[in-house]
Amino acid sequence: MRRSEPRLQRKLLAWLLGPLAVLLVLDTGAAYWNSLRFSNLAYDRALHEIGREIAMHVRLDGERPRLELSKPAADILFVDPEDRLFYRVVGADGTHLGGDAQLPAPRNARPAGSDFYGATVHGEPVRMMVARMRIGPDAQLPEVLVQVAETLHKRDRFTWEMVANVVLPQLLLIVMATLVVWFGVSRGLEPLQRLRRAVSDRSHLDLSPIDTHDVPGEVRPLVDDVNALMARLGRTFDFQNRFVADAAHQLKTPVSGLKAQIELALRENDLQRVRHSLAQLYISADRLSRLVRQLLSLARNEPGALDSMQLQPLDLNAHALEVSMEWVPQALKRNIDLGFEGTDHALMIDADHDRLRELLNNLIDNAIRYSQPGGRVTVQTSQTGDDQCRLAINDDGPRIPVEERARIFERFHRLLGTQEDGSGLGLAIVSEIATLHGARITLEEDSDGVGNTFSVFFPLRAGDGAAPAA
């Protein structure tokens, strides 16, 4: 069995991790920006202090300021394990007083207080401080421009350490959330997996309901529907099985009868008697072929046949007349008065031509077959409403008792004591064909009090009903 990750699990994780990842990126950006600000704030102050210290080493040589920063003093001032420091002092008149002459000129030659910005010194990125500073506490003393630059190593380290402090716990949280969701959803979906196994491990013959005991509430209606479907399927299978068994039973008798008659005929020497046996055989074979035809017709008109059916516009009135005419010789043989009473306009319905003929044939056949000789059979068509028409066949036969009226439409059901040949399938076929056409059958006593009336009500074609043809 293939075990794929449940889609739900992947979907939930995607929904969770996607936004969290975006959030993490945004947060990392914000943390970086903030950390940079703080590290600059802290280290810029130190840089300013160094600048102030340098300014203290400027002495007045008469009127001219002069920088007196000895090498050891500078070494102490600039001692730093991580970064390199550069400086330069310029007099108020722009003369270079000391430090690194190659330090780039300040971006603002007359800063109001002190100015801090990024620059490049000797190919290395630095933070630059520029400030005007008085060379001593006395307000009379002149000012000099002090520049101090420092490489960015400790600032970078500090910034990234702060970013890591913020981001790492969040990353850990996301990983943990992922694990929790993963396991949580796995456990939550476990009943569904069990349900899936219960269905996939099942034999195709097992139509018993699925156990809904620990099915989650969300899928419960689905499982109930599947169970209902299986129950319906079960009934259909039962019905089919019964039908096949009945059909086999029904076929067995005539086939063994046929065999017995053939054996009998084979033993005869008298040609006259052989002829007689053959005539009997013909009748039996005819009966058998009718039975087989009806069984096939039943199978053909199962409710599932709806897909393959070709409904076409058809005039019920004309069609009923045409089929009735074909039965005249048969009626004459039994001395039955077969009549037709139609409408004076077409009754257009949507129908399958051959199936409708089969329906009519079965009803007329019954009416003629079960009527008393000398009786009357009438086929009628009429419009019974704006959107409905009726096909009725009434006869003079023995009345079908009320309690039998529903049952005679069942397969193989025949009235007790029916003498005529038959299988009990005709009305079952009629009923199936009617259903396929959306029609409804009723059976009543004939209005004249003798015999039965079978009525089939068909829906008229939309638009054709109200307009009688010329």
Ligand X SMILES: Nc1ncnc2c1ncn2[C@@H]1O[C@H](COP(=O)(O)OP(=O)(O)O)[C@@H](O)[C@H]1O
User: Least Å distance between CB 373 and ligand X?
Assistant: 14
362 or 383, CB closer to ligand X?
362
Which positions from 348 through 367 interact with Mg ion, judged by CB under 5 A?
Answer: 366
Per-residue x/- track, 362-391, Mg ion (CB under 5 A): ----x-------------------------
Which positions from 394 through 453 interact with Mg ion, judged by CB under 5 A?
Answer: 426
153 or 290, CB closer to ligand X?
290
379 or 428, CB closer to ligand X?
428
User: Least Å distance between CB 272 and Mg ion?
Assistant: 34
Please work out the total of residues on this chain that contact Mg ion, with binding judged by CB under 5 A: 2
191 or 398, CB closer to ligand X?
398
User: Least Å distance between CB 271 and Mg ion?
Assistant: 36
User: Least Å distance between CB 365 and Mg ion?
Assistant: 6
190 or 337, CB closer to ligand X?
337
Which residues would be at the binding site for ligand X (CB under 6 A)?
A: 362, 366-367, 370, 395, 397-398, 400, 408, 414-415, 418, 422-428, 452
Rg of the chain, C-alpha, whole Å: 53
User: Least Å distance between CB 294 and Mg ion?
Assistant: 8
Torsion sign across C-alpha atoms 279, 280, 285, 288: positive
User: Least Å distance between CB 3 and ligand X?
Assistant: 54
- Helix axis angle, 220-267 to 271-300, nearest 10°: 170
Residue 414: contacted member of ligand X, Mg ion, none (CB under 5 to 8 Å, by partner type): ligand X
Task: Work out whether strand 348-351 and strand 388-394 pair parallel, antiparallel, or are unpaired.
Answer: unpaired
115 or 246, CB closer to ligand X?
246
Residue 367: contacted member of ligand X, Mg ion, none (CB under 5 to 8 Å, by partner type): ligand X
Residues 116, 129: Cα–Cα separation, whole Å:
5
User: Least Å distance between CB 251 and Mg ion?
Assistant: 17
Residues 78, 276: Cα–Cα separation, whole Å:
138
Please give the residue ranges that form the binding site for Mg ion (CB under 5 A): 366, 426
